[in-house]
Amino acid sequence: MTVPPSETIELCLSWLATRDEGALPSLLLSAGPITEDARYCILAERPRFVVEGTPFGAMGGRFSVRDTRTGSTIAAEPIDRLFDVLRQIERDHGRPPVSGQPGSAATLPFSGGWIGALGYDLAWSFEYGIPRYRERTTTLPDVWLGFYEEPLVVDRTTGAVHGDATAIAAFSQRDAQRTRPRFRAGALRSAFHREDYEAAVERVRQHCIAGDLFQADLTRRIEFDLEGDPRGLFESLVERSPASHMAYLGLGDGRAVVSASPEEYLRLADGVVRSRPIKGTRPRADSPERDRELRDDLLASDKDIAELTMIVDLVRNDLGRIAEPGTVEVGAFPSVLELPQVWHLMADVTAHVDARHDVWDILAASFPAGSIVGAPKPMALEILERVERSRRGFYTGAIGYLEPGGNAMLSVAIRTAEVSERRLRIGVGGGITALSVPSEEFEETCDKARGFLLALGAREDGVTVVGELDDGVD
């Protein structure tokens, strides 16, 4: 079946708005300009298996696998066994079939498998051996994956919809009278006031000057009380801050992950893995002349080019651990990524994956993404653990899909919010080097928060939000 290409985004949002929360709906949405990498949208609900876990807290460094058909827990293991158990589930249940469109699986990015999020703190499950200095302040897990057997895949270029025929028919019925799900956000709280964040920047900068670090990505968290439906926030983000790797994950029990990430952590297809780290930020301007000046200033910045160079070297090293010898390559460097609120620098790093390795090996070799940690990675992880005020959770982890034995696409979970216990938590941050100016680094985090604040109808003035926040839909 095909639908008008111009209506694909609205149909995806309508589908999401009408899903039951208990169906655990997931929507991976490519918004903004259509490109080969931002062409498809993936919609899924009612996963066969649900995986949740965390290295910390009440779950005690464990994860569980629940069979949603029986309601039973089929596995409860230490978190360092996570990837082994996921492999076993894939072996036991095989590649999910594609129904409704015979022969289409070969050309689609995803025909079924895992959709979900891996939190930044999953790094503590790997070999880094980093001390832990902060406790968790949320009940959200650090791993949430659903095994979805019958996804819908929508091609924004052609309007083609692939998947189960009954689900396609329901998807194509647009409700012209539909209104956006309502939400309201209350007063803002920040884990870092401006002065404290700038002091933390200076601490990291001194580590860079001392030679402990080349670069580290320092973050802070902004929190709101949230009433209503976070799907309304997601729709507002699509309207005001569209990005190529948007995602809404309904985790059940009033929990959700909302993301408008522009950054590709890894894309695996036909045995080739690609990562597209971004570094360096300039705000957009209303005046075309001023906008071009800001773009050119970013391209001419020694600090930002050096930052991207260091991260590209880190990504090359990470991918080299799973690549065929001599196949790691860097494409155009640097390129400029244009987003509604900011400019970024970007690079392409690709590698041919050694046949002995799968996507879980790639994750073990490279997670979390170098661009949101720093270099050298183990030292950056430890220093950030000492300096930052709160655990990052899903923020700066990874969100996307992983097909058993096939394709994968994971974004870096930036421009990402968590919702639980009627609280909305947004993370923002930036790369710190010896050349960083603390006040400018704080302003960069404000630039990056702008998309979410616009979607909330808010503005950040240092550390407060002015006025009550509403989606404005009547």
Residue with tokens 């799968």, as numbered in its chain: 358
Q: Round to whole Å and give the CA distance between 326 and 303.
A: 29
58 — pLDDT class (breaks 50, 70, 90): low
* pLDDT tens digits along 400-456: 999 998 799 999 999 999 999 888 999 999 999 999 999 999 998 988 888 888 888
* pLDDT tens digits along 339-352: 888 899 999 999 99
Listed range (143-147, 197-201, 311-315, 469-473) with the worst mean pLDDT? 469-473
Listed in sequence order, the residues at least 6 apart from 284 whose beta carbon sits closer than 8 Å to its beta carbon are 291, 294, 339, 340, 341, 342, 343
* pLDDT tens digits along 241-294: 899 999 999 999 999 999 999 999 999 999 999 999 999 889 899 999 999 999
- Asked whether the beta carbons of 347 and 312 are under 8 A apart, the reply is yes
- 452 in a domain, yes or no? yes
The total domain count for the chain is 1
Listed range (26-40, 61-75, 125-139, 418-432) with the worst mean pLDDT? 125-139
- 417 in a domain, yes or no? yes
CATH number at residue 313: 3.60.120.10
- 139 in a domain, yes or no? yes
Does residue 69 register a pLDDT over 70?
A: yes
- 175 in a domain, yes or no? no
Residue 375 is which amino acid?
A
Q: Cα dihedral angle (118, 57, 425, 71), rounded to 10 degrees?
A: 60
Does residue 21 register a pLDDT over 50?
A: yes
- Could you give the strand order of the β-sheet that contains 335-338, starting from the edge strand earlier in sequence? 278-283, 342-346, 335-338
- 448 in a domain, yes or no? yes
User: CB 276: neighbour CB atoms within 10 A?
Assistant: 25
Does residue 170 register a pLDDT over 70?
A: yes
**Percentages helix, strand, coil for the chain, rounded to the nearest 5?**
30, 30, 35
- 174 in a domain, yes or no? no
Residue positions annotated with a catalytic role:
263, 279
Listed in sequence order, the residues at least 6 apart from 11 whose beta carbon sits closer than 8 Å to its beta carbon are 3, 154, 171, 172, 174
- 176 in a domain, yes or no? no
* pLDDT tens digits along 92-124: 886 644 444 433 455 789 999 999 999 998 888
User: CA separation (Å) from 33 to 9, 39, 262?
Assistant: 12, 9, 12
* Domain enclosing residue 101, as ranges: 5-169+184-470
Burial degree of 198 (CB within 10 A; 0-12, 13-18, 19+): middle
225 — pLDDT class (breaks 50, 70, 90): confident
Q: Round to whole Å and give the CA distance between 105 and 380.
A: 41
Q: Round to whole Å and give the CA distance between 235 and 16.
A: 10
- 363 in a domain, yes or no? yes
Model-level pTM? 0.91
Nearest to 429 by CA among 287, 263, 313, 266: 263
Q: How much is the pLDDT for 255?
A: 95
